[in-house]
Amino acid sequence: MLNLAILASGRGSNMVALIEAIRDRNLPVNLVMVVSDQSNALCLQKANELNVPAYTFLPEHYPQRTQYDQALAEFLKAKGVDTVCLAGFMRLLGSNFVKAFPERILNIHPSLLPAFPGLHAQKQAIEYGVKISGCTVHFVDEGLDSGPIIMQKAVPVYDSDTVDSLSERILQKEHEIYPLALELLAKNRLKIDGRKVVILEENKD
């Protein structure tokens, strides 16, 4: 059983997809809390509506990023959290945080990594002129969107696409694969082998 915290900064659509999957599929996941770095984030309201404990953890209370990372990790640990899903959390978490949850932090990114890491991936894809983009669920390491890849889903990029239209098409796929990746982790079906993530056969016993 995973003791999960979801970290989000915005409207929380991936957060909702994860919560619904945990409940609808009866996943072996104990959802401990949702945490946001924005006091007015819509994800906090949605978490409350779904009866999930919601907290704010504001960076302005910490002069240095490393202090924030350390304090956030300690806060989650004190609540019994052992696994973290980043769902539109708009802060790059440093090594102190990553080391606190080794191979237990997942992130969803709106591109086919390693293409277009960082912010505004959909805009990067359109400006580069690619014909296919998509989304990636990966383990978080100490780099920027650079951890081992768990799962990806591709979508076409049309000549008529705007950032908004491409973002919406990618988001639909994000809502499909992020819960699947969490389910695989919860069922101990992910094995990291160097840069590769191997999906193990399900144990039927």
**Residues with active-site annotation:** 109
- 145 near 113, Cβ under 8 Å? yes
Q: Which stretches within 25-162 are classed as H helix?
A: 42-49, 65-78, 95-100, 121-128
Distance between CA atoms of residues 152 and 156, nearest Å: 13
Give me the sheet containing 132-139, strands edge to edge: 54-56, 29-36, 2-8, 83-86, 105-109, 132-139, 149-156, 196-199, 190-193
Distance between CA atoms of residues 68 and 28, nearest Å: 30
Residue 133 structure tokens? 């983009």
The three-state secondary structure class of 127 is: helix
